[in-house]
Amino acid sequence: MEEPIRAEHSELMTLLYTAEQESHDNSGAIKEVASVFSGHADREEETLIPVLEFMKEWFSGIKQVNAPFLKGKANEFKLEVGAMINEHAQILKLFDEMNTEGEKNACLLENLRKFMKRHSVIEEYYFYPMAMYACKIIEGL
């Protein structure tokens, strides 16, 4: 099974590139979203996903883990989480500021904004708090 956060990042990047190509009035703003989101997604894939994957294994009963690697990832996640929350807000603000009046792909942009918002909300609502808890377990390894 493909890791779902990484899969959504890849879908979102594809949709952003398509929207950028097809947009007339908002291609600059979409390019800015793509630039922020690309770095943001890389950071989550480097820090959040390893911590969540640890948690998945830990709660499945797998206790043989690479503690030094995980401690490094947990520290990176804790350092980056504030910036990542700010990036969610920054990305949604860029969408809110887009002028979609007269944009022939307004529907594509609206769906992309909703997809991006849901992705960010799920991360902040469930995944970041779960990862913070996992960091505490990792500290005790």
Residues forming contacts to Fe ion in the complex (CB under 5 A) are: 44, 123
Task: Report the nearest approach of Fe ion to the CB of residue 95 (Å).
Answer: 14
Nearer of residues 6 and 104 to Fe ion, judged by Cβ: 6
Tokens 């804790």 correspond to 78
- For residue 123, the minimal CB distance to Fe ion (Å) is 5
Which one, 5 or 30, has the nearer CB to Fe ion?
5
Q: Which is nearer to Fe ion, 54 or 105 (CB)?
A: 54
* Cβ-based nearer residue to Fe ion, 106 or 115: 115
The amino acid occupying position 6 is R
Least distance between Fe ion and beta carbon 75 (Å): 19
The least distance separating Fe ion from the CB of residue 40, rounded to whole angstroms, comes to: 6
> Minimum distance between the CB of residue 25 and Fe ion, rounded to whole angstroms?
26
Cβ distance to Fe ion smaller for residue 90 or 100: 90
Q: Which of 68, 119, 63, 120 is nearest to 89 (CA)?
A: 120
Interatomic CA distance for residues 128 and 81, integer angstroms: 8
